[in-house]
């Protein structure tokens, strides 16, 4: 559910008098209570959000590097006429 808006400003949970369930931060695992009414809150603080996204970017880059290395190997094998053959053949 989207945050409630009043006069163009976002109301915090304390201002609305609503209780929020405690969640666990997806990055550090610390329990936290969302400051705004958001069902999709996943991080206890902006630093955890930034670190989580940075780690995911790094993992995707490593995966891309491995994919490119496999593609380069396949191209080299195709040029040498031995694509799909194992070294034991």
pLDDT (tens digit, 9 = 90+) per residue, 32-50?
998 877 778 999 999 999 9
Residue ranges with strand state E in 1-89: 5-6, 9-10, 23-24, 31-32
* Whole-number Å distance between alpha carbons of 16 and 36: 10
* pLDDT value of position 6: 35
Percent of the chain with pLDDT over 90: 52
Examine the domain organization and report whether 26 and 62 are in the same domain.
no
* pLDDT value of position 64: 96
Q: pLDDT tens digits, residue range 8-35?
A: 333 344 444 445 578 999 999 999 998 8
Examine the domain organization and report whether 5 and 35 are in the same domain.
yes
Examine the domain organization and report whether 28 and 55 are in the same domain.
no
Examine the domain organization and report whether 2 and 39 are in the same domain.
yes
How many structural domains is the chain composed of?
A: 2
Range of the structural domain that residue 23 is part of: 1-44
Residues in the chain: 89
Examine the domain organization and report whether 58 and 79 are in the same domain.
yes
58 pLDDT above the threshold of 60: yes
Residue 89 lies in a domain: no
């Amino acid at each position: 559910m989207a945050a409630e808006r009043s006069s163009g400003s976002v109301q915090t949970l304390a201002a609305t008098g609503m209780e929020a369930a405690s969640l666990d931060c997806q990055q550090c695992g610390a329990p936290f209570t969302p400051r705004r009414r958001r069902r999709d809150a996943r991080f206890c603080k902006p630093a955890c959000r930034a670190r989580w996204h940075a780690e995911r970017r790094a993992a995707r880059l490593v995966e891309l590097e491995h994919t490119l290395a496999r593609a380069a190997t396949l191209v080299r094998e195709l040029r040498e006429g031995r694509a799909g053959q194992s070294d034991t053949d």
